[in-house]
Amino acid sequence: MSWKRSSVLALALALAAMVVACTSAESNNAEPRTFETQYQTIRLVQVASGLEHPWSVAFLPDGEMLVTERPGRLLRLSADGSERQEIRGVPEVVARNQGGLMEVVLHPAFEENRWVYLTYSKGDSDETTTALVRGRLSGDELEDLEELFVQDRKSEPGRHYGSRLAWMADGTLLMSIGDRGSDPPRGQDLGDHAGTLLRLNDDGSVPADNPFVDDPDALDEIYTYGNRNIQGLVVDPASGIIWSTEHGPRGGDELNVMRPGENYGWPRATLGLDYRTQEDFPDSEARRIDGMVDPVHEFLPTLAPSGLAMVTTDRFEGWQGDLLAGGLRSRRILRLVVTEDEVIHGEELLLDEIGRIRDVRQGPEGDIYVLTDARNGGLYRIEPN
d(CA 121, CA 222): 19
pLDDT exceeds 90 at position 365: yes
pLDDT exceeds 60 at position 6: no
| Amino acid sitting at position 284 | S
d(CA 371, CA 354): 9
- Per the annotation, the verdict on 160 as an active-site residue is yes
pLDDT exceeds 80 at position 201: yes
- Mean pLDDT of the residues in the chain: 92
What pLDDT is stored for residue 280 in this prediction? 82
d(CA 142, CA 152): 25
d(CA 226, CA 229): 9
Tens of pLDDT along 270-289?
Answer: 988 777 777 787 888 888 89
- 49-74 average pLDDT score: 98
CATH topology assigned to domain 3-384: Neuraminidase (2.120.10)
- With a CB cutoff of 8 Å and minimum separation 6, the contacts of 52 are 69, 70, 71, 73, 375, 376, 377
Provide the percentage of residues in the chain whose pLDDT is more than 90: 85
- 346-367 average pLDDT score: 97
Of residues 87 and 252, more confidently modeled: 87
Residue 187 DSSP one-character state: G
What pLDDT is stored for residue 371 in this prediction? 98
- 354-369 average pLDDT score: 98
Of the listed 53, 107, 160, 247, which one is catalytic? 160
Tens of pLDDT along 10-42?
Answer: 545 544 444 443 333 333 447 999 999 999 999
- 48-56 average pLDDT score: 98
Band (pLDDT 50/70/90 cuts) for residue 9 is low
Domain boundaries, the chain: 3-384
What pLDDT is stored for residue 345 in this prediction? 97
- With a CB cutoff of 8 Å and minimum separation 6, the contacts of 25 are none
pLDDT exceeds 70 at position 308: yes
Of residues 184 and 282, more confidently modeled: 184
pLDDT exceeds 70 at position 8: no
